[in-house]
């Protein structure tokens, strides 16, 4: 599967942090990515397309956009991959390698790829996994407990494995949560972590906490629309 990159704008993104906004088992990636794009007013620098992507155009402010896109700001030192659809399992490897290749070519310093694990009981705790010693040290500095035994699927799993081989820092914050906590509220905790890691940004989280339910409903609707054209064929889009 080839992923085509339609580049709109060139930026100096050396030492930037890359955020993976391709959803997996929850909306957290999309919420984190969307909020960062909006609150930091990031520029769209690239559209991503593939024969395996849903054949849809996402309309924002009356403008058509590819179902996967890259946003960035060279002063803020941040790159955000944003998607409204969940890659089905055979796509995960190529999606991850596209993120990795972009990060390496641009000289980015780290990749952050949030994940969720659902608990039977109520509550929430943020854990982390790092691809390298340097990545794990950053988690320690943030006082984020690291998982000893687990399994990370999909794009995040490939990012971790490839990050280890390529000596590229990949941080996967893992939100273990019960059903009593919304994805938007979990996303706010992940964004708070990102805010601490990147000294060139300052993020106000109060609007996300206040509008958590509305944000989640909006993205859930977009996700369903993006998945609709392909779900009959693959049966794996969420």
| Tokens 């490939």 -> residue | 158
Question: pTM for the whole thing?
Answer: 0.87
Q: Residue 117: its pLDDT value, please? A: 84
| Tokens 């990515």 -> residue | 33
- Closest by CA to 34, choosing from 173, 193, 216, 198, is 216
Please name the helix (run of DSSP H) or strand (run of DSSP E) that holds residue 79, with its range, or none. Answer: strand 78-83
Reduce the DSSP state of residue 69 to 3 states and report it: strand
- Closest by CA to 170, choosing from 222, 108, 230, 225, is 108
What is the spatial distance between Cα 113 and Cα 18, in angstroms, rounded to a whole number? 9
Ordered alpha helix ranges (H), 40-172: 89-106, 133-141, 154-166
Q: Which residue pairs from 204-211 have beta carbons closer than 8 angstroms and sit at least 24 positions apart in sequence?
A: 204/39, 207/39, 208/31, 208/35, 208/184, 209/185, 211/184
Please name the helix (run of DSSP H) or strand (run of DSSP E) that holds residue 23, with its range, or none. Answer: none
Q: What is the CA radius of gyration of the chain?
A: 16
- Closest by CA to 199, choosing from 34, 10, 15, 12, is 15
The CATH code for residues 12-202 is 3.40.50.10900
- 120: phi then psi, degrees, rounded to nearest 5: -75, -30
Q: Residue 25: its pLDDT value, please? A: 74
Neighbours of 205 (CB within 10 A): 15
CA dihedral sign, ordered 99, 37, 196, 175: negative
Q: Residue 216: its pLDDT value, please? A: 61
Per-residue pLDDT 10s for the chain (238 aa) are: 789 999 999 999 999 999 999 988 778 888 899 999 999 999 999 999 999 998 989 888 899 999 999 999 999 999 999 998 888 888 999 999 999 999 999 999 999 999 988 877 777 889 999 999 999 999 999 999 999 988 998 999 999 999 999 999 999 999 888 777 778 888 888 899 999 999 999 998 887 777 656 666 666 666 666 655 555 544 444 4
Q: Residue 236: its pLDDT value, please? A: 40
Q: Where are the domains of the chain?
A: 12-202
Q: Residue 225: its pLDDT value, please? A: 62
Please name the helix (run of DSSP H) or strand (run of DSSP E) that holds residue 37, with its range, or none. Answer: helix 28-39
| Tokens 């058509």 -> residue | 64
């Amino acid at each position: 599967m080839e992923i085509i990159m339609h580049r709109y704008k060139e930026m100096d993104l050396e030492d930037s942090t890359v955020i993976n906004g391709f959803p997996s088992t929850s909306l957290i990636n999309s919420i984190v990515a969307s909020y960062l794009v909006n609150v930091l007013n990031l520029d769209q620098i690239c559209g991503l397309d593939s024969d395996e992507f849903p054949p849809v155009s996402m309309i924002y402010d009356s403008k058509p956009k590819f179902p996967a896109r890259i946003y960035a700001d060279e002063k803020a030192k941040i790159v955000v991959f944003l998607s409204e659809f969940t890659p089905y399992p055979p796509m995960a490897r190529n999606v991850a390698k596209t993120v990795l290749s972009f990060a390496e070519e641009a000289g980015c310093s780290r990749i952050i790829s949030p994940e969720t694990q659902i608990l039977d009981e109520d509550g929430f705790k943020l854990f982390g996994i790092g691809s390298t010693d340097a990545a794990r040290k950053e988690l320690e500095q943030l006082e984020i407990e690291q998982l000893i035994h687990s399994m990370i699927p999909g794009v995040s799993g490939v990012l971790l494995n490839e990050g280890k081989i390529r000596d590229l820092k990949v941080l996967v914050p893992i939100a273990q949560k019960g059903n009593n906590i919304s994805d938007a509220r979990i996303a706010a905790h992940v964004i708070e972590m990102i805010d601490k890691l990147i000294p060139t940004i300052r993020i106000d989280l109060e609007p996300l906490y206040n509008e958590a339910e509305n944000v989640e409903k909006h993205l859930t609707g977009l996700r369903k629309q993006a998945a609709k054209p392909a779900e009959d064929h693959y049966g794996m889009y969420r």
